[in-house]
Amino acid sequence: MTGKFSRRYFHLVFSLVMGAMMVFLMTFVITLANVGMPADFVARWLRAFLVAYPVAVPVIYFLAPVARRLTGRFVDTP
């Protein structure tokens, strides 16, 4: 037992991790741009994260393969 998930879960776990990283950063930047740094910034940022994350994960899950194929039309694959 390696403590890792089965290979068949790679795309799902990738989507969850990528979603968390992207949404964490993007909601921070957009919240900061929209409201500055008020006393309730963290609460606003968390609210934005909780709205955006469930949207981002399925988008990444379904569109990442499409993006890979489109990129493959322009760039030699590794």
- The pLDDT tens digits for 36-52 are 999 999 999 999 999 99
Can you spell out the DSSP letters for 44-78?
HHHHHHHHHHHHHHHHHHHHHHHHHHHHHHHS---
Q: Average pLDDT in the 53-62 region?
A: 97
At 71 the pLDDT is 94
Q: Average pLDDT in the 42-69 region?
A: 97
Kindly tell me the sign of the dihedral angle through the C-alpha atoms of 71, 75, 77, 78: negative
Rounded to whole angstroms, how far apart are CA atoms 14 and 57? 9
pLDDT tens-digit map of 14-28: 999 999 999 999 999
Rounded to whole angstroms, how far apart are CA atoms 60 and 70? 14
